[in-house]
Amino acid sequence: MNGVERIAAAFRRAEEEDRTALVVFLAAGDPDFRATVELARAAVEAGADVLELGIPFSDPLADGPVIQAAYTRALAGGSTTAGALACAAEIAGGTDAPVVLMVAVNCVLALGFEGFCAAAAGAGVSGLLVPDLPVDDAAELREAAGRTGLGTVFLVGPDSGPARVAAAASASTGFAYVMRRRGITGAGSGGVDLERRIEDARAAGRASVAVGFGISTPAEAAELAGVADGVIVGSALVEAANRARDAARDPGEGGREAARVVAEAVRGLAAALETRGAGR
């Protein structure tokens, strides 16, 4: 299977099991690549259906303080785009979950659209989310992704009009990423007419629709069971892992405790999504 097919299969499997899919975000290289691989494996074993792996960048777009801090730790530890791709390859080769890279456009342009997509596909990556590349400017990325079998993920913003929702959803071949609220990841409020936005995205595109931004607890995830095809959780897990490492007496213990804490949190989130409820 190519990347588009792997992502579709993950969402289809969840639907067949009467579940809403769980997408888990991790920062590549926080605090090092070995830790990221361990967290990814723990998350998948605990119930994550898709892994979203963020490539650290010095000026992240829309990311709140938790993910910004994770990227800062990763960059201080020597994280690079090449290292993140190698990390993604190890995760993709060792788990059944498709890996979607969240990456700044500058990191992509350093290799060129064709070169980056080829490198990502060669690493076993299934899809790409480039949050600072508007869909109107993404023709080259979409073409390169299509040639290499990668799914594309575009953001449906909280203030997007019908035409923008349709453009982002129709261009998404991996899944459409609907933002639950205004603001940055992991904080604040500012809700939108979420169910209407999800239905508009479904009507405009063929890929699954996942909701992220500000989802951290099983109760918040459960509100979307059966409403969206997938739920994306990131900051809460990144923060929990970092707290566990900080509280440990030595690095080895910290890594094990971080994996345990993340697995426990993922199990709780997955359990909250086990019944799709009144959704489609």
Whole-number CA gyration radius for the chain: 17
Distance CA 210, CA 207 (A): 10
Which of these, 137, 132, 168, 136, lies nearest to 152 by C-alpha position? Answer: 168
Which of these, 186, 277, 155, 177, lies nearest to 223 by C-alpha position? Answer: 277
Known catalytic membership, residue 274: no
Catalytic residue among 49, 52, 200, 229: 52
C-alpha separations of 148 from 8, 62, 87, 98 in Å = 16, 28, 19, 15
Distance CA 169, CA 176 (A): 5
CA dihedral 138, 139, 145, 151 (to 10 degrees): 60
C-beta of residue 54 within 8 angstroms of C-beta of residue 28: yes
Catalytic residue among 63, 223, 229, 257: 63
Angle (CA) 149-52-120 rounded to 5° is: 35
Known catalytic membership, residue 63: yes
Distance CA 26, CA 67 (A): 9
Distance CA 43, CA 40 (A): 5
Q: What residues act catalytically?
A: 52, 63
